[in-house]
Amino acid sequence: MSVTAPAGFEAAGVAAGLKSTGKPDVAVVVNRGPRKVGAAVFTSNRAKANPIIWSQQVIADRVVEAVVLNSGGANCFTGSFGFQTTHQTAEKAAELLDISAGDVLVCSTGLIGTGDEVFRAKVLAGTEQAIATLSADGGDAAAQAIMTTDTVAKTAVVQGDGWTIGGMAKGAGMLAPGLATMLVVVTTDADLEPLEADAALRAATGTTFDRLDSDGCMSTNDQVTLLANGASGVKPDLDAFRSALRGLCQELAVKLQGDAEGASHDITIEVRGAVSEQDAVEVGRSVARNNLFKAAIFGNDPNWGRVLAAIGTTSAQFDPYDVDVWMNDVRVCTAGGPDRPREDVDLTPRATNLVIDLRSGEASATILTNDLTHDYVHENSAYAS
């Protein structure tokens, strides 16, 4: 059910011809109220796609009634013509839904530089078609329409005490933080104030999507949106809501990791014993972005030297000669020196655990990443995306 699991939301996904495969490529999610609370986080990349520039204006008043999303073209670096396409998309949806264009978010994903007349015509026609087929069980169709190189549609639902959260996500590459790292729409029928929704979304994404770092490459189009309509009539316990929202975001983040382009290992990097959470994140990210380490994991090689070489480039507080490293629960390095032999480590399972204990403090953080594989190189060299 994804985004239509909570009461008061409708969605649709249709094929508008943007994808050469003929698969669904335009989705619409509509909030039927009563409240129209919206919150969103965006890519921190300064190279922003037109839909991002548009949506950052729309979200300013924290009122959102609809989201139009397309795959098959990023509408990024397509000039003022491209921005007008985004604007016209919002106007088209607003006209058909009898709402204000200023309350319509637009998201696009696909190849940068794609956004010509043909693209515009298809997006506008697709928006019209999708709105004509909106339904209260259209969440799964919408999730399918935002897929790009994803191999599976990604959805999640969490039940609260009288309220529900639903979500859909697309993303299979270019996974790196910057608040958002993918297209995600999350809906809830809980009754939230705009600032409550905003704070809850930022807290949840900060420790979930923002700590998924598959290949260190930040996209131009990323957006995570939360729509809250209060249709349940329930004002949630805020701690419970925040916890549920974080759980849902983490579930979607793990699904994105599991579908990362060409990956053969899902690597969980847990950094312990840091002086601060920021230090722990910096250390984890340095390993997640080290091609030599990532290639070693692909080769099932527990090369802990590459871990130490990576973390040595950070400014985090620790002594490189007082660090312990575990791979899949085998301590391969103690106090910056060899411990158990590499033969003891079995890296054949897809799920891979790396634990780094900096032995300097009490803070910790976990980063999710993937290995560097032949298939990653193939997918990102053989196809323009």
The structure tokens listed for 303 are 């090369």
Nearer to a copy of itself, 129 or 334 (CB): 334
Residue 350 in the binding site for a copy of itself (CB under 8 A): no
Task: Tell me the closest approach of the beta carbon of residue 365 to a copy of itself, in angstroms.
Answer: 19
Residue 34 in the binding site for a copy of itself (CB under 8 A): no
The structure tokens listed for 237 are 């316990």
Task: Tell me the closest approach of the beta carbon of residue 232 to a copy of itself, in angstroms.
Answer: 39
Residue 327 in the binding site for a copy of itself (CB under 8 A): no
Task: Tell me the closest approach of the beta carbon of residue 107 to a copy of itself, in angstroms.
Answer: 16
Residue 295 in the binding site for a copy of itself (CB under 8 A): yes
Please report which helix (H) or strand (E) contains residue 68, including its range: strand 66-70
Please report which helix (H) or strand (E) contains residue 274, including its range: strand 266-274
The interface with a copy of itself within residues 199-228 (CB under 8 A) comprises 215-220
- CA-CA-CA-CA torsion for 65, 70, 74, 77, nearest 10 degrees? -50
> CA angle 256-260-265, nearest 5°?
105
Residue 292 in the binding site for a copy of itself (CB under 8 A): yes
The structure tokens listed for 59 are 């979200």
- Which residue in this structure is represented by tokens 């637009």? 106
Q: Is 385 annotated as a binding residue?
A: yes
Judged by CB under 8 A, the residue of 16, 112, 145, 356 near a copy of itself is 112
- CA-CA-CA-CA torsion for 46, 194, 9, 249, nearest 10 degrees? 60
Judged by CB under 8 A, the residue of 47, 132, 152, 240 near a copy of itself is 47
Per CB under 8 A, the segment of 17-25, 126-134, 155-163, 367-375 that binds a copy of itself is: 367-375
Phi, psi of 365 (to 5 degrees): -165, 155
Could you say which of 78, 181, 220, 369 is catalytic?
181
Residue 309 in the binding site for a copy of itself (CB under 8 A): yes
- In angstroms, the Cα distances linking 153 to 6, 170, 327, 340, 362 are 19, 7, 31, 41, 38
Collapsing DSSP to helix, strand or coil, 147 comes out as: coil
Judged by CB under 8 A, the residue of 12, 105, 296, 356 near a copy of itself is 296
DSSP 244-275: HHHHHHHHHHHHHHHT-TT-S-EEEEEEEEES
- Which residue in this structure is represented by tokens 């053989």? 382
Nearer to a copy of itself, 102 or 113 (CB): 113
Residue 348 in the binding site for a copy of itself (CB under 8 A): no
Q: How far apart are CA 305 and CA 336, in angstroms?
A: 9
CA atoms within 13 A on the CB side of 331: 8
The structure tokens listed for 92 are 């088209």
Task: Tell me the closest approach of the beta carbon of residue 363 to a copy of itself, in angstroms.
Answer: 19
Q: Is 19 annotated as a binding residue?
A: no
Judged by CB under 8 A, the residue of 21, 22, 117, 382 near a copy of itself is 382
**151 catalytic, yes or no?**
no
Q: Which active-site residues does the annotation give?
A: 181
Binding site for a copy of itself (CB under 8 A): 44-48, 74, 76-79, 111-113, 173-174, 178, 215-220, 289-292, 295-296, 298-299, 301, 303-306, 308-314, 320-321, 333, 336-338, 342, 372-374, 376-378, 380-382, 384
